[in-house]
C-alpha cells in the first residue's frame, strides 16, 4: 500500500480571467494532519473542491491511497472515503442534526419508510467517540455555529470518511471553540483519519499540523515539515512573499470629543429576548474601542441596534451630538456611520452584483454617482472601484466587473472594508474585520483601521479574538450577558484578567 | 453595467467563448433545440416537417396569396400583434423577477388593465385622444393591482405567489361582474359583449392592414426601453437589483427594501396593465366580456424565462412566441396539428431549465485552451 493518502499532481484549474490553480501539487501522507496555507484567493478552496469532485480540473491527476482516480462528482469522493467541511456550511436549517447528517442516504425500514432511530444512535455514538457534542434531535437553526460545524464533521464521519477536509474551520469559531476543535482534530488523527486543514491562523498550524503546503497566487511554493522550531514568521513570509509584521505600530492615542455615545440602551433579539441590557459606552474621536466578549453576549444585537438593523427598546444613541436612535439606516449612513458587518454574506455584500456596484452600495444614489435625474454614472462607479481594487489589493478574475460572489472569501471581506473606509465615516462599527483573512491582508486592514483612527474617526471594534482586541484597541470594554462588565485602557489588564471579566466578574473600579 | 471597465480583459476571448458565456446566446440555442424537437415530433406523426418550418418562416415574412395574386404580410402583422401582450407580460414577470419576486400575477394585472380601458372606452362619450386616456388608466390599474401584492409582501410578508394567484381570479370575476352589470349592455341577444367601444378609443392600425397590428406596438417598444433604462441605468434600478440579489445586504446598506418590493411590483403591474389595453383596444376592438383567462400573463412567464429577465431578451422572446402563435393558425392550412406549437413552447421552457448543460461545453473549451498553452510552452 502507498504511504500517501492523497497525491494531487500538476493540478490546474481556471476560471474566467484567472488561473486559480496553476500546476499545483499536494501530497498528503496517511494519518497526518496536513495544513494548506496561502493568501486570500491563492486557490486553496478551489484545490479542495477539485479533490472533492465539485470542480473538475483542466489538467493534472489525483491518486488516492496510491491508486489513480477520476473524481467527477462529490458522490465519487464520498465513496473514496473523502469528506469535506466547506468554508460556508451546507446545512438545511429547519432539519434536525440527524436529518442533515443522513441527507441523501436516508435510512429506510422494511416498508421503505424513513426511519431515523438507527441513524440517531449512530450519530450519538460517533459524537461521543470523537467528542463532538451535539444533540442529534436539535434543529440546525437552534444550535450555534460551532455546533453546526460539528454536525458537518459528523456528516463526514457518518459516511465513514478516512480523509477529512476542513476548509477554514476556525474562521467562524470563538477562541474557546477553536481550542475544542484542535482537540477534535487530534482525536480524529488518533483514530486513524487523515486530515487536510485550511487555515490562516499560523498558531493552529503549529498546534496540530505535521506538514504544511504553501500556495501563492495559484502556484505551489513549498511543502514543509512543522516542528516545534518552525517559526510563524517564516511561514508567513513564504506565503506572502515578503516579511509580515504581526504587531502593528501605532502612535499613542489622542482622543478628542465624544463621537458616539451609547446611553443605557436595551435591545431584543429577533424572537424578543432581551440580549443587551442597559448598556452604556462612549467612543471618542481618534480612538479605537474594543468590545471583548464571548460570542452570544449581546455583541450582535448591540451592533444591530447601532447600525439601525433592529430598534432599541430603551435608551439613546447619540452620534456627533445628534440623536440617531430612531433614524433609518440610510440617514445614519449619511450622518457619518460606517459598518463592517459580522455576517458578510448576509449583510455585507450583494453577491450577484459586480465588485464595482458593491463598492458603491451605500452611496450610489448620491450626486457623486447619480445624475440629477437619477441616472447612474457608470464611468465614475468603475473609476471608484478600479481605484479601490488597486488600493486594497482585491484579487479577482475580471476586476471591477467580477460578480462579488465569485471572489474568494477573503477578497469579499476586502471589498466590504474598502467600501466602508472609502466612505470615510466619522464613526465606524467594525465586527470581526479580519475573519478569514490571510496574515498579509490582516496586517493591511489593521493598518488602515489605525490610519482611520489617526484621522480622528471613532472606531468601535467587536471581535471574539482577544489578541486582535488587545493589539488594536486603545480602550477595551468587556461585555458579559448584555452589559459592560468594565472599561479600561489597553495594556492595563492582562488577557486572563480580561477573560475573567468576560466571564461576568464586574470590575471593581467604575468604568474608565 | 458590463462595459467600459479598465480592468476588463476581453482581448483573449474568442467569439465563441463569449457566445457561450452570454446568456442571450444560450437562449437562442434553447429556442433552436425546441424547434428541432418540434420537427422531430411532426416527423414522427408522419407529416412533412418542412411544413412546420414553412409556417414559422411565413410567420415572419408572409406568403404569396394566389387568390389575390399578391404577397401577403398578414402573418408578420399577426406575429407582431401577438408579440405586444407577450412582451409586455414578459416585462411584468421579468421586472419582478429581477427584484427577487415571482410574479404570477401578470394575468390579473392584464385583466384589470383591460377592465379599466374597457370602462373608459365604453362608459364615457367619445372624445379625441380617448385611446391614450384609456391606456393611461389601464397602466394605473395594473400598477395598483401589482402594487397591492407588493405591499402585502413587503409589509406583511405574504407570499407573492399565493397573493397573485388569488388576485388573478378576483380580477377575472370582477371583470365579469362589472362588465355584465355596470357597463352599458350591447344588443340584447349578445350577452357576451357590452355596448361598442367609442371609436376614438380604438388604437389605430399601422403598417400591415391585413392584420390587427396597431400603435400599441410602439408603446410596447417604449415599454421595453423604459424597462431597460430603469433597471440598468437608474439608481432606482440599482436598488431593485440589489434587493433582488440579497435583500438583507440591501437593507443593511440603507436601501429601502420594502419600498423596492412594493414599487417594483407596481411597475411590473403597469406593464401588464398596458398589455390589457392594447389587446382590447387594438386587437379585439369590441366590448368583449371575458369568459376565461386570456393566458397572455402566463405566457409572459415563459417569455421572461427565455429572455433572462433582460429587456432585449424579453423583446426577442416575445416576438418569437408571437411568431409561434401566428404559425399556429398557418399550420391549419398545412395539415399539421396545431398542438405542435404548444409542445414547442413547452419544450423551450424545459430546455431553458436545462441550460446548465452548456456550462460543460465552456469547461471543455477552457481545458483545451490550457492544453494548447502548455504545449506551446513546452515547444519553446
Ligand atoms: N466559481 C468561481 N468563479 C470564478 N472565479 C472563482 C470561482 N471560485 C473561485 N474563483 C477565483 O479563483 C481564485 C481562487 O479562489 P479560492 O476560493 O480557491 O481562494 P482561497 O485560497 O480559498 O481564498 P480564501 O482564503 O479567501 O478563501 C480567486 O481569485 C477567486 O476569485
Ligand atoms: Mg477559501
User: pLDDT per position in chain A (512 positions), as tens?
Assistant: 678 999 999 999 998 778 899 999 999 999 999 999 998 889 999 999 999 988 889 899 999 998 899 888 888 888 899 998 887 777 887 788 888 888 766 666 666 676 777 788 888 888 888 888 888 888 887 777 778 888 888 888 888 889 999 998 887 777 778 888 899 899 999 989 999 999 988 889 999 999 999 999 899 999 999 888 888 888 888 888 888 777 777 888 888 899 999 999 999 988 888 899 999 999 999 999 999 888 778 888 999 999 999 999 999 999 998 999 999 999 999 999 999 998 888 899 998 899 999 999 999 998 889 888 889 999 999 999 999 999 988 888 888 998 898 888 888 989 999 999 999 899 999 998 888 888 888 888 888 899 999 999 999 999 888 888 888 999 999 998 889 988 988 888 887 788 888 776 655 444 43
pLDDT attached to residue B368: 63
Rounded Cα gap, residues A7 and A61, in angstroms: 8
Contact A399 B5 (CB under 8 A): yes
Do residues B265 and B132 lie in contact, with contact meaning Cβ atoms separated by under 8 Å?
A: no
pLDDT attached to residue B366: 59
Q: Which of A506, A500, A472, A503 is nearest to A487 (CA)?
A: A506
Distance from CA of B161 to the nearest CA of A (A): 22
CA closest to A304 among chain B residues = B252
- Mean of all residue pLDDT scores within chain B: 83
Q: Which ligand is nearest to the CA of B366?
A: 1
pLDDT attached to residue B48: 80
Cell numbers at B234, concatenated: 437608474
In angstroms, the Cα distances linking B214 to B109, B209, B289, B329 are: 21, 9, 21, 20
- What's B19-61+85-365's CATH class? mainly alpha
**pLDDT per position as a tens digit, B8-37:** 333 444 566 666 566 677 777 778 888 888
CA closest to A329 among chain B residues = B254
Q: Of 3.40.190.10, 3.40.50.300, 2.60.40.1120, 3.30.300.30, which CATH number belongs to A246-336+425-506?
A: 3.40.50.300
Helix (H, G, I), strand (E, B) or coil at A23: strand
Rounded Cα gap, residues B282 and B203, in angstroms: 5
Structural domain spans, chain A = 4-240, 246-336+425-506, 349-423
What is the distance in A from the centroid of ligand 2 to the CA of A58? 19
pLDDT attached to residue B187: 67
pLDDT attached to residue B376: 66
Q: State how far Cα A26 lies from the chain centre.
A: 24
CA closest to A353 among chain B residues = B242
Distance from CA of A17 to the nearest CA of B (A): 7
The answer, yes or no, to whether residue B98 has pLDDT greater than 80, is yes
Q: Which of A149, A160, A21, A2 is nearest to A87 (CA)?
A: A149
The response to whether residue A355 sits with its C-beta less than 6 Å from ligand 1 reads no
Question: Which residues 8-67 of A have a C-beta within 8 angstroms of B?
Answer: 12, 14, 16-17, 56, 58-59
Contact A400 B6 (CB under 8 A): yes
Q: Which ligand is nearest to the CA of A40?
A: 1
Q: Which residues have a beta carbon within 5 Å of ligand 2, which is an ion?
A: A 45, 87, 409
Q: Where are the beta strands (DSSP E) in chain B?
A: 63-65, 70-72
Contact A365 B239 (CB under 8 A): yes
Contact B252 A339 (CB under 8 A): yes
For residue A376, give the nearest of B6, B8, B233 by CB distance.
Answer: B233
Q: Given this chain, do its domains A4-240 and A246-336+425-506 carry the same CATH topology?
A: yes
Rounded Cα gap, residues A249 and A247, in angstroms: 6
What is the distance in A from the centroid of ligand 2 to the CA of A437? 10
Do residues B150 and B266 lie in contact, with contact meaning Cβ atoms separated by under 8 Å?
A: yes
Rounded Cα gap, residues A280 and A314, in angstroms: 11
Helices (H), B48-127: 50-61, 74-98, 106-122
The answer, yes or no, to whether residue B125 has pLDDT greater than 90, is no
The answer, yes or no, to whether residue B40 has pLDDT greater than 90, is no
Rounded Cα gap, residues A374 and A412, in angstroms: 28
Contact A58 B370 (CB under 8 A): yes
Distance from CA of B355 to the nearest CA of A (A): 18
Q: State how far Cα A120 lies from the chain centre.
A: 31
Rounded Cα gap, residues B291 and B196, in angstroms: 17
pTM of the model: 0.79
Cα end-to-end span (Å), chain B: 40
Q: Does residue A359 or residue B362 have the better pLDDT?
A: A359
pLDDT attached to residue B7: 37
Structural domain spans, chain B = 19-61+85-365
The response to whether residue A408 sits with its C-beta less than 6 Å from ligand 1 reads yes
The answer, yes or no, to whether residue B81 has pLDDT greater than 60, is yes
Provide the CATH topology of domain A4-240. Rossmann fold (3.40.50)
Q: Residue B66: exposed, middle, or buried by beta-carbon count in 10 A (0-12, 13-18, 19+)?
A: exposed
Distance from CA of A21 to the nearest CA of B (A): 12
Q: Which of A3, A439, A29, A8 is nearest to A211 (CA)?
A: A29
Return the best residue to mutate from A167, A408, A412, A444 for the ligand 1 pocket (most ligand atoms within 8 A of CB): A408
pLDDT attached to residue A180: 86
What is the distance in A from the centroid of ligand 1 to the CA of A437? 13
Q: Which residues contact A320 (CB under 8 A, 6 or more apart)?
A: A259, A335, A336, A426, A427
Do residues B121 and B77 lie in contact, with contact meaning Cβ atoms separated by under 8 Å?
A: no
pLDDT attached to residue A510: 41
Amino acid at each position: 500500500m502507498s504511504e500517501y493518502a492523497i497525491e494531487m499532481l500538476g493540478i490546474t484549474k481556471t476560471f474566467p480571467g484567472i488561473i486559480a490553480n496553476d500546476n499545483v501539487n499536494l501530497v498528503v501522507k496517511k494519518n497526518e494532519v496536513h495544513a494548506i496555507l496561502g493568501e486570500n484567493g491563492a486557490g486553496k478552496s478551489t484545490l479542495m473542491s477539485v479533490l472533492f469532485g465539485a470542480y473538475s480540473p483542466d489538467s493534472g491527476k489525483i491518486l488516492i491511497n496510491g491508486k489513480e482516480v477520476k473524481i467527477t462528482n462529490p458522490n465519487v469522493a464520498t465513496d473514496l472515503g473523502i469528506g469535506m467541511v466547506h468554508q460556508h456550511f451546507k446545512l438545511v436549517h429547519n432539519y434536525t442534526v440527524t436529518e442533515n447528517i443522513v441527507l441523501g442516504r436516508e435510512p429506510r425500514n422494511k416498508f421503505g419508510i424513513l426511519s431515523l432511530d438507527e441513524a440517531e444512535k449512530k450519530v450519538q455514538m460517533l459524537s461521543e467517540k470523537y467528542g463532538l457534542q451535539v444533540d442529534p434531535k436539535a434543529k440546525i437553526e437552534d444550535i450555534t455555529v460551532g455546533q453546526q460545524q460539528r454536525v458537518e464533521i459528523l456528516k463526514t464521519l457518518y459516511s465513514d470518511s478516512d480523509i477529512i477536509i476542513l476548509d477554514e474551520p476556525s474562521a467562524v469559531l470563538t477562541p474557546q471553540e477553536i481550542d475544542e476543535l484542535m482537540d477534535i482534530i487530534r482525536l480524529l488523527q488518533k483514530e486513524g483519519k487523515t486530515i487536510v486543514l485550511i487555515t490562516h491562523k499560523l498558531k493552529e498550524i503549529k498546534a496540530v499540523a505535521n506538514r504544511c503546503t504553501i500556495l501563492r497566487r495559484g502556484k505551489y511554493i513549498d511543502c514543509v515539515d512543522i516542528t516545534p522550531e518552525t517559526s510563524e514568521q517564516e511561514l508567513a513570509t513564504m506565503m506572502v512573499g515578503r516579511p509580515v509584521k504581526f504587531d502593528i505600530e501605532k502612535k499613542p492615542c489622542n482622543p478628542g470629543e465624544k463621537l458616539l455615545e451609547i446611553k443605557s440602551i436595551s435591545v431584543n433579539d429577533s424572537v424578543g429576548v432581551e440580549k443587551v441590557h442597559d448598556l452604556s459606552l462612549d467612543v471618542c474621536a481618534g480612538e479605537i474601542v474594543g468590545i471583548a466578549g464571548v460570542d452570544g453576549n449581546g455583541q450582535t444585537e448591540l451592533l444591530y441596534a447601532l447600525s439601525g438593523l433592529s430598534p432599541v427598546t430603551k435608551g439613546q444613541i447619540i452620534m456627533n451630538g445628534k440623536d440617531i436612535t430612531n433614524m433609518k439606516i440610510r440617514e445614519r449612513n449619511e450622518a457619518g456611520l460606517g459598518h463592517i458587518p459580522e455576517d458578510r454574506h448576509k449583510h455585507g455584500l450583494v453577491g450577484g452584483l459586480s465588485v464595482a456596484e458593491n463598492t458603491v452600495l451605500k452611496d450610489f444614489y448620491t450626486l457623486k454617482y447619480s445624475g440629477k435625474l437619477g441616472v447612474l454614472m457608470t464611468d465614475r462607479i468603475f473609476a471608484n472601484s478600479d481605484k479601490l481594487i488597486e488600493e486594497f489589493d482585491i484579487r479577482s478574475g475580471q476586476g471591477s466587473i467580477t460578480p462579488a460572489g465569485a471572489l474568494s472569501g477573503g477578497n469579499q471581506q476586502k471589498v466590504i472594508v474598502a467600501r466602508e473606509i472609502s466612505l470615510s465615516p466619522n464613526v465606524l462599527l467594525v465586527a470581526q474585520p479580519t475573519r478569514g483573512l490571510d496574515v498579509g491582508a490582516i496586517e493591511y486592514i489593521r493598518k488602515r483601521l489605525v490610519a482611520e483612527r489617526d484621522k480622528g474617526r471613532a472606531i468601535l471594534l467587536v471581535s471574539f479574538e482577544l489578541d486582535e482586541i488587545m493589539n488594536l484597541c486603545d480602550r477595551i470594554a468587556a461585555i458579559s450577558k448584555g452589559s459592560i462588565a468594565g472599561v479600561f485602557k489597553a495594556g492595563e489588564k492582562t488577557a486572563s484578567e480580561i477573560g475573567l471579566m468576560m466571564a461576568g466578574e464586574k470590575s471593581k473600579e467604575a468604568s474608565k | 453595467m458590463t462595459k467600459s471597465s479598465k480592468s476588463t480583459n476581453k482581448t483573449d476571448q474568442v467569439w465563441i467563448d463569449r457566445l457561450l458565456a452570454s446568456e442571450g446566446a444560450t437562449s437562442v440555442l434553447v429556442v433552436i433545440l425546441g424547434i428541432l424537437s418540434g420537427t422531430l415530433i411532426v416527423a414522427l406523426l408522419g407529416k412533412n416537417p418542412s411544413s412546420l418550418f414553412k409556417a414559422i418562416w411565413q410567420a415572419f415574412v408572409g406568403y404569396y396569396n394566389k387568390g389575390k395574386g399578391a404577397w401577403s404580410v398578414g402573418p408578420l402583422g399577426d406575429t407582431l400583434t401577438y408579440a405586444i401582450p407577450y412582451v409586455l407580460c414578459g416585462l411584468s414577470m421579468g421586472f419582478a423577477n429581477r427584484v427577487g419576486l415571482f410574479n404570477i400575477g401578470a394575468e390579473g394585472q392584464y385583466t384589470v388593465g383591460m377592465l379599466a380601458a374597457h370602462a373608459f372606452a365604453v362608459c364615457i362619450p367619445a372624445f379625441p385622444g380617448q385611446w391614450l386616456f384609456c391606456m393611461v388608466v389601464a397602466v394605473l390599474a395594473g400598477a395598483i393591482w401589482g402594487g397591492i401584492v407588493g405591499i402585502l409582501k413587503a409589509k406583511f410578508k405574504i407570499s407573492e405567489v399565493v397573493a397573485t394567484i388569488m388576485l388573478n381570479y378576483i380580477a377575472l370575476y370582477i371583470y365579469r361582474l362589472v362588465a355584465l352589470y355596470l357597463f352599458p349592455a350591447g344588443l340584447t341577444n349578445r350577452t357576451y359583449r357590452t355596448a361598442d367601444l367609442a371609436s376614438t378609443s380604438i388604437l389605430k392600425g399601422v403598417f400591415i392592414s391585413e392584420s390587427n397590428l396597431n400603435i400599441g406596438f410602439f408603446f410596447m417598444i417604449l415599454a421595453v426601453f423604459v424597462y431597460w433604462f430603469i433597471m440598468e441605468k437608474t439608481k432606482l434600478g440599482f436598488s431593485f437589483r440589489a434587493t433582488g440579489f440579497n435583500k438583507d445586504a440591501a437593507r443593511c446598506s440603507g436601501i429601502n427594501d420594502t419600498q423596492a418590493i412594493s414599487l417594483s411590483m407596481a411597475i411590473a403591474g403597469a406593464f401588464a396593465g398596458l398589455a390589457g389595453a392594447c389587446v382590447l383596444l387594438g386587437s379585439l376592438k369590441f366590448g368583449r366580456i371575458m369568459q376565461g383567462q386570456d393566458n397572455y400573463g402566463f405566457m409572459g412567464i415563459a417569455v421572461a424565462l427565455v429572455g433572462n429577465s433582460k429587456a432585449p431578451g424579453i423583446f426577442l422572446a416575445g416576438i418569437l412566441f408571437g411568431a409561434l402563435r401566428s404559425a399556429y393558425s398557418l399550420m391549419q392550412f398545412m395539415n399539421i396539428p396545431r398542438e405542435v406549437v404548444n409542445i414547442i413552447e413547452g419544450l423551450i421552457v424545459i430546455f431553458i431549465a436545462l441550460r446548465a448543460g452548456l456550462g460543460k461545453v465552456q469547461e471543455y473549451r477552457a481545458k483545451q485552451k490550457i492544453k494548447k498553452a502548455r504545449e506551446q510552452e513546452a515547444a519553446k
